[in-house]
Amino acid sequence: MAEGGQEQQPSEDRERAMAAVDVFYLLRVRDQMKQQLLECSAVADADKAAVSHHAGKERPVQIAIEDYKKGIENEIVSFWTKTLALQRIQITAALRDKMKQNDNDSQLILEAVQDIVKLSEAIAAYQQQAREKEQKVADIQRQRLLLKKVGREKLKQIHDMMRKLKETQATGEVKTLEEMHTAYQKERKITSIIQNVLQCIIIGSRVNWAEDPSLKAVVLQLEKNI
Amino acid sequence: MAVFQPFDKLPVLNSATLLLVGSDRGLQQELAKAMLQEKKSFKISIHLATSLPLPSEGDHLRPRIDLIVFMIDVKTKYSLKNVEASLAHVAASFFLGKVCFLVTGVGRVNYCSVEMSSIWKLGEVYCSPVLYCELELERTRVATAQRLLRMLQICAGHVPGVSALTFNFMLRNSY
């Protein structure tokens, strides 16, 4: 509702305008006025046309009446508020005058005023306390919220840790299995090579291995593929 | 006075009046300062208001309002609501070119809490131009001030041969 009402008109602007009153300025202002007159007359014509158009109907009149009624109501309200403010001012002025007279009544008034001041001070103090308490409650709530957040994050971290641990375990088992498998393959290759070598040695030594049963068993053993 | 009319008072010689309506006081003041610092050949008075209607007490002191600028901040929904509530107190004939919407804070769309389509719609429904600007940057602020001054000059009838309505139509056709 508040209107700033700041009409910031630098005075130098006015001085310059005063200094610049010459033929061109006057011509410019004449043009401006012509334009403004044109606009105003256009609006006036339009309004006249609208009025003649609505001549038979009563609606615009009723609307206008409603507007004026509203205006009257507003005026009444503002008048009442103003009278109330004025009465308050008058009462305070009267009280002040009375207190200055310094007789019995004024003593009573003074006491009452002092009581009022004390009571309002107490009210202010209590309000302050209440505000502080509210502030504390808000702080505590904020801390609780913070703690909750932190707790949630911690839980999340723990979950992550567990998951990672499981994963590493699983991967470790797979790795050991693979290692074992490669070692086994290697050993198999080595044994097959040794078998071949032994076979070759026996055959190369030209010993009739079929006669000796133990040698025969060995050679036949070597034939087996592991 | 519930609504206020564009032609209920006579214009003052070689002067124009602008009414800035918006919820942010600081931005209004900055814009007003920027407009006053511009060079101009006529007297200008800028009225600041947070919402309409204006109090009827100072009504007889107020000069004729030539241009109403409604400032909408993209960052707060309240500003849009405020403007929408204020629009009800403006007479229909004001929308014949004497109203414009100024959308501020366009530089930070990340913090945008107002839907752009609703602002567009507002401009469409009220047949008024919508200007976008960022008032916290010096250069755009100055440019906006110049633009508004020019519009004000036209709306106050200082430019022969161009009325507010013609200008409005030209602006809308160029979109």
Q: Report pLDDT for A167.
A: 93
Structure confidence at residue A126 as a pLDDT band (50, 70, 90): very high
Q: Report pLDDT for A15.
A: 66
Q: Which residue has the higher pLDDT, A29 or A224?
A: A29
Question: Does pLDDT of B1 surpass 60?
Answer: no
- In chain A, where the domains are located: 19-51, 57-98
**Does the CB of A179 have a partner CB in chain B at under 8 Å?**
no
- In chain B, where the domains are located: 17-173
C-alpha B54/C-alpha B50 separation (Å) is 9
Closest chain B CA to residue A11:
B43
Q: Across the interface, do A6 and B93 touch by the CB < 8 Å criterion? A: no
Q: Across the interface, do A1 and B51 touch by the CB < 8 Å criterion? A: yes
C-alpha B67/C-alpha A32 separation (Å) is 16
Q: What are phi and psi of B20, to 5 degrees?
A: -100, 120
Report pLDDT digits (tens) over A64-91: 899 999 999 999 999 999 999 999 999 9
Closest chain A CA to residue B159:
A32
C-alpha B82/C-alpha B8 separation (Å) is 25
Measure in Å the smallest separation between the Cα of A15 and chain B Cα atoms.
11
How far apart are the two ends of chain B, measured CA to CA in Å? 35
Q: Helices A213-223 & A104-204, crossing angle to 10 degrees? A: 140
A8, A22, A67, best to mutate vs chain B, most B CBs in 10 Å: A8
As given in the structure block, the two tokens for residue B113 are 């809490």
- The answer to whether residues B120 and B130 touch, using CB atoms and an 8 Å cutoff, is yes
Report pLDDT digits (tens) over A144-188: 999 999 999 999 999 999 999 999 999 989 999 999 999 999 999
pLDDT above 70 coverage of chain A, percent: 88
Mean pLDDT over B124-151 rounds to 88
Across the interface, of A8, A29, A74, the residue whose CB is closest to B14 is A29
Q: Report pLDDT for A89.
A: 96
Across the interface, of B36, B54, B161, the residue whose CB is closest to A8 is B36
Q: Report pLDDT for A1.
A: 36
The CATH classification of domain B17-173, taken from the options 3.60.15.10, 3.40.50.300, 3.30.420.40, 3.40.50.1820: 3.40.50.300
| Local structure of B105: helix, strand or coil | coil
Q: Report pLDDT for A168.
A: 92
Q: Report pLDDT for A207.
A: 78
